[in-house]
Chain A
Amino acid sequence: MDKLALKSAAEKFERELAKIGGDPEAVSLRAATLPLIDAAKAGRIEAPLQWREIPGARLFSEGNLRRYGDLEGAYSAFRVELTGGESDTLRALKASMPSH
């Protein structure tokens, strides 16, 4: 685990959540992920999580949070770090999408 990268991702995700403010789904996302955010910021996460264990995904697919692009990006980046950092697939995908 790259605890510094994880902490940075957690802080960025938290900032994006704060920007959204009162959107009820964003409030739900914050409530769902706050324990992980706090643990990541405090350096208490020692081992990678399973992606499926991280709450909140349904709020993007079945809800409307995807309209907040920066929030989705920060949420995904946070989860990448929570699951152990960039995988081979993500690195390859990034390489194939240089414009981003």
Chain B
Amino acid sequence: MGFGIGSITGAFKSAADWVGDKVEDGAKAVGSAAETVADTAVDVVDHGAKALGAARDFVGDRLEDVDHAKAWVGGKIDGAVDTAEKAVDGFRENLVEFGEEHGGFVGKTIAQGISNNIGVLEGGTLAVYDMGKGVVQLADGAGKLVNPLEWAARGGENLDRLEKTGKAALAIGSLASPIGWAINGEGNANTAKALWNGVTEGYQEAAKDGDWSKFIGRGVVDIGSFFIGAGEANAAIKGARAADAVADGARVLDAAADVGKATRGIDAAADAGRIADGATAARVGTRADKVAEIVKNADAATLDKIKSTSTFVTNGLDNAGAEAFLKSSDGQQMLRAMSAADPGADATKIYGRAMDLLSTGSKAPEVKPFNDALVKIVPQGEGVSAYTPFFATMDDLQAAAKSGQSLADAFGLPIRSEAAVYDIYQIAPKGADVDVFVQTIAPTSELGGAVVREGGALQYLVLNRSEWTDAVKIGSIPN
């Protein structure tokens, strides 16, 4: 696996420099002008809400007439969006001219920022349109579970579907708050895009047109509905009636408007990567801030140490503890399993690999028969090593995400493996029960103790990857 030290540095520098300067000061400066603009834009978006509400009713009344629904939904929303887009684009141009005339702080730059935020909301309208079209284009699976229209039309069926893909739905629901989604547009939009093919075309068109504010806006609405859908999925798990819990189109748009308010003042023309970096760094708290500061101020020698992990120490079992385990029946089973997984490896290699694993756990591992999927996080854009034995359950990953620790802290990662956003990969046993070795991740330290990770999450050691399916990406999660 490659590691992106450059992205780490960029992420943390962005947090301090960009979010601090732009969001806080920018948001305050925009003030009431932005509110006015937002209200206007929301009014425009309401056109889409009405169309969407009608679409929902129509779909609800004609559950079996999918082809008819597709044509009707597309036609209704198409007209509303076309009108809305033209009106808003004109207002955006006028606003920039107004800003130029007044100059100063509330000048062209700010006006352009407001205009871009309108673009966010306008893009939101377009995304609703895409969603309306996409609802009848979705394939079976988790995508349907996060689509409010789909819930409205087929609540009972989705409740059943939820039980089958519940973990995926929960993973989606835990990705972030709506505000987090908004300012983490790029990474989460990628997830939405992957799961929700019905809106892919819209993203591509917005990007092709070069109007990045609209592009981000699409993410806002996708994300808003995504979030509501997953939230309702959780409610359904708790026993609520799916039909009652369905989010209608207006709620989707409300979510988009709220998120738009939260992002007001952000220079939406800024690149999405910086947005994502800032959002993540803001979430990980003081511990990550400390890491960020270290990385930000690192000289070349320190960066080399981070890159090579030369100072990364896992405070797991010591030599005596590891030896004691390896002499036990479970330890002998571990050695046999590792040898069976790689018959060509000699004793020294097998021993070394075993000692490496034991060095990462705070206690000796326990053997468990296992027949469920496991997941692994890797920095976004990087794949899973074919050799890694380190995995976790989705439940444990979610618990770590909610623990108040960053994922890097919970899983004891070295600085070079810390990322703003992680991709989640999943493997599943090919057969029935497979033995895994479960242990608590030990604390780690780096740069002579300047960076300390608490560890504490559970890791599931997969000793024979050939017994498991290939790792498949199933989503993303912020640090």
- Pair B2/A24 contact, Cβ less than 8 Å: yes
* CB-CB under 8 A for A75 and B352, given A52-B359, A94-B347: yes
- Complex Cα spacing A60 to B385, Å: 9
- Complex Cα spacing A77 to B347, Å: 10
In this complex, the member of A33, A84, A94 whose beta carbon has the largest number of chain B beta carbons within 10 angstroms is A94
Determine if B269 is an interface residue (Cβ-Cβ < 8 Å).
Answer: no
Within 8 A of B (CB), among A46-100: 48, 50-53, 55-64, 66, 69, 72-73, 75-77, 79-80, 83-84, 87-90, 93-94, 96-97, 100
Report the minimal beta-carbon distance from A97 to chain B, rounded to whole angstroms.
5
Determine if A31 is an interface residue (Cβ-Cβ < 8 Å).
Answer: yes
Determine if B389 is an interface residue (Cβ-Cβ < 8 Å).
Answer: yes
Using an 8 Å CB-CB cutoff, how does the interface string of B316-342 with A read, 1 for contact, 0 for none?
111100110011000100010001000
Determine if B234 is an interface residue (Cβ-Cβ < 8 Å).
Answer: no
Determine if A29 is an interface residue (Cβ-Cβ < 8 Å).
Answer: yes
A-B CB contact pairs (8 Å), 7 listed: A55-B310, A61-B387, A61-B390, A63-B2, A72-B352, A76-B349, A89-B323
- Pair A32/B351 contact, Cβ less than 8 Å: no
How many residues of chain B are within 8 Å of chain A by beta carbon? 45
* CB-CB under 8 A for A77 and B385, given A51-B322, A52-B315, A56-B309: no
- Pair B346/A100 contact, Cβ less than 8 Å: yes
* CB-CB under 8 A for A58 and B414, given A31-B308, A51-B319, A63-B1: yes
- Complex Cα spacing A3 to B315, Å: 26
- Complex Cα spacing A42 to B345, Å: 30
Within 8 A of A (CB), among B368-393: 385-390
Residues of A within 8 A of B319 (CB): 48, 50-51, 83-84, 87
Residues of B within 8 A of A59 (CB): 309
- Complex Cα spacing A57 to B354, Å: 11
Determine if B283 is an interface residue (Cβ-Cβ < 8 Å).
Answer: no
* CB-CB under 8 A for A90 and B351, given A52-B316, A64-B386: yes
Using an 8 Å CB-CB cutoff, how does the interface string of B1-15 with A read, 1 for contact, 0 for none?
110000000000000
- Complex Cα spacing A32 to B312, Å: 9
Residues of B within 8 A of A53 (CB): 313
* CB-CB under 8 A for A28 and B347, given A64-B385, A80-B352, A89-B326: no
Determine if B350 is an interface residue (Cβ-Cβ < 8 Å).
Answer: yes
What is the chain B residue whose CB lies nearest that of A90? B351
Residues of A within 8 A of B406 (CB): none
In this complex, the member of B312, B318, B349 whose beta carbon has the largest number of chain A beta carbons within 10 angstroms is B349
Residues of B within 8 A of A63 (CB): 1-2, 385
What is the chain A residue whose CB lies nearest that of B414? A58
- Pair A90/B414 contact, Cβ less than 8 Å: no
Q: How large is the interface on A (under 10, 10 to 19, 20 to 34, 35 or more residues)?
A: 35 or more
Residues of B within 8 A of A97 (CB): 339, 346-347, 350
Report the minimal beta-carbon distance from B17 to chain A, rounded to whole angstroms.
28
- Pair B346/A55 contact, Cβ less than 8 Å: no
A56, A73, A83: which contacts B346 (Cβ < 8 A)? A73
Residues of A within 8 A of B389 (CB): 61
- Complex Cα spacing A2 to B369, Å: 41
- Complex Cα spacing A30 to B116, Å: 49
A-B pairs, top 6 by smallest CB distance, nearest first, are A76-B352, A100-B346, A32-B310, A52-B359, A31-B308, A28-B308
Within 8 A of A (CB), among B1-37: 1-2
Determine if B307 is an interface residue (Cβ-Cβ < 8 Å).
Answer: yes
Residues of B within 8 A of A76 (CB): 348-349, 351-353
Determine if B474 is an interface residue (Cβ-Cβ < 8 Å).
Answer: no
* CB-CB under 8 A for A52 and B313, given A28-B307, A57-B356, A87-B323: yes
B1, B311, B314, B355: which contacts A62 (Cβ < 8 A)? B1
Report the minimal beta-carbon distance from B372 to chain A, rounded to whole angstroms.
22
What is the chain A residue whose CB lies nearest that of B331? A89
- Complex Cα spacing A51 to B317, Å: 9
- Complex Cα spacing A58 to B412, Å: 12
- Pair B347/A100 contact, Cβ less than 8 Å: yes
Residues of B within 8 A of A72 (CB): 349, 352
What is the chain B residue whose CB lies nearest that of A84? B319
B313, B314, B327, B348: which contacts A73 (Cβ < 8 A)? B348
- Pair B310/A61 contact, Cβ less than 8 Å: no
Residues of B within 8 A of A58 (CB): 309, 312, 414, 417
What is the chain B residue whose CB lies nearest that of A61? B388
What is the chain B residue whose CB lies nearest that of A53? B313
Residues of B within 8 A of A27 (CB): 308
